[in-house]
Structure 1
């Protein structure tokens, strides 16, 4: 009985000794890791503060002029772009510090996982740059199309600009997803089917009755070049002045009365000046 008790006592002593030795051996690593975390955290905060102050005026102003700041506000993101960049850099540094602390503690699995995350970051940054540049380009092209259509006296100039801008944004989103390694084949198929359906619908609408409307729209484009507003004319025996040439019909004014005539009729009939 005494021998069994002595054996149990020796086992307990050996276990406590092993635990104590491991704790004593691990304690310097734990202190070192904590010290690295503390210094790394302070360094990351310092870098964030310096970076935000350095780029606040230039970056925020650039994004405001490009329209990206307005897009962020529409997405309910109230933080300034410089603060967002500073926060991203802060967390990247902090992740690197955590990886260093994990190496000190011998946590190779944690370190390997963080390394894989860091390996994916370049793709994320590239995708973000592509998206930002694409949105800027889309806005620029949309403005160019709108300005050109406005100069050509096309009343639906803003609609054309919006279509151009949206088309470019869709293409940029597809490229961004491909940069992130996402299979975009399904998305491309959906976009293709959607565009084909819209095109087929427009063709069907034209065939079923939109022909007169389209004819009036095209006629309105030519009327704006040949029939200036305020020009006195006579249409169907009624005299008046051109008040406005709309997308589908032209409005005339005779004293206090106004009447409209479809643009296609003005192209088909004789209008006396």
Structure 2
């Protein structure tokens, strides 16, 4: 008889704990469902807003979308940003749901993810804007070089574009917190190596090219001098 009473007491305690825990489970489920609906609305709003300001046109001209397609992605940069915002809202809803269930370890892990997603979004925006600016610099330098009669204007434009892109990638990686000091030092080393290589190439093998360039440029300057009018 005493054994039965102990079993019934244990069962009553279990049922009481389950009854106290069930509303928290229902609340967590409700939070997760509400977060899912809010995430879908946020993704739709972000994608609609970005397309309304022609953000997809900028990323297409910057060839960011083509780069994503080369990697096997069927979505463009605008859809990628919408997906990131979607998962940011989902993670935030899961954090609230886990807090309602007192799952502190899971909440802490999700909080770290939630803090990292905005940095990814910012890095993507920096890459998109920087790539567009790099191609703009390329075109501007090329057009200006051709207008002044510089034959190597396309090469100079590409070099300017690569320099800007390298700097933009450095900023994006620093936003992600990926070995900022190492990447910064590597960038300086690579830049110094490129400058040294160009200096050696110009000094050893480009003397004739420099002479021809000066011959083309110097008469034009002489014609522009007031004393030669």
TM-score, normalised to structure 1, is: 0.66
Mapped to 2, the partners of 1:86 and 1:172 lie a distance apart of 22
Of 13-22 and 51-60, the range deviating more from structure 2: 51-60
Aligned to 1:15: 10
The change in CA–CA distance for 1:206 and 1:112 in structure 2 (over 3 A counts) is closer
Aligned to 2:209: 217
Deviations 1:98-138 (A, max 9, x none): 12221222223323333343334444443333333322222
Aligned to 2:40: 45
Mapped to 1, the partners of 2:177 and 2:155 lie a distance apart of 33
Q: Could you say what the CA RMSD is over the residues aligned between the two structures, in angstroms?
A: 3.1
Mapped to 2, the partners of 1:83 and 1:17 lie a distance apart of 52
Aligned to 2:79: 83
Mapped to 2, the partners of 1:104 and 1:123 lie a distance apart of 27
The yes-or-no answer on 1:32 pairing with 2:24 is: no
The yes-or-no answer on 1:196 pairing with 2:187 is: no
CA contact (8 A) 1:153 1:221 kept: no
The change in CA–CA distance for 1:173 and 1:80 in structure 2 (over 3 A counts) is closer
More strand by share: 1
1:143 equivalent among 139, 143, 163: 139
Gaps of 5+ in 2: 220-229
Superposed displacement of residue 71, structure 1: 4.0
CA contact (8 A) 1:146 1:161 kept: yes
Partner SS for 1:79: coil
Which one has the largest radius of gyration? Answer: 1
1:170-181 paired onto structure 2 within 5 Å: 170-181=166-177
The change in CA–CA distance for 1:72 and 1:100 in structure 2 (over 3 A counts) is same
CA contact (8 A) 2:68 2:76 kept: no
Superposed displacement of residue 206, structure 1: 5.4
The change in CA–CA distance for 1:51 and 1:120 in structure 2 (over 3 A counts) is closer
Of 143-152 and 194-203, the range deviating more from structure 2: 194-203
Aligned to 1:168: 164
Gaps of 5+ in 1: 1-5, 228-273
Instruction: Give the aligned length.
Output: 218
Aligned to 1:134: 130
Mapped to 2, the partners of 1:184 and 1:54 lie a distance apart of 32
Structure number with the bigger relative contact order (C-alpha 8 A, sep ≥ 6) is 2
More helix by share: 2
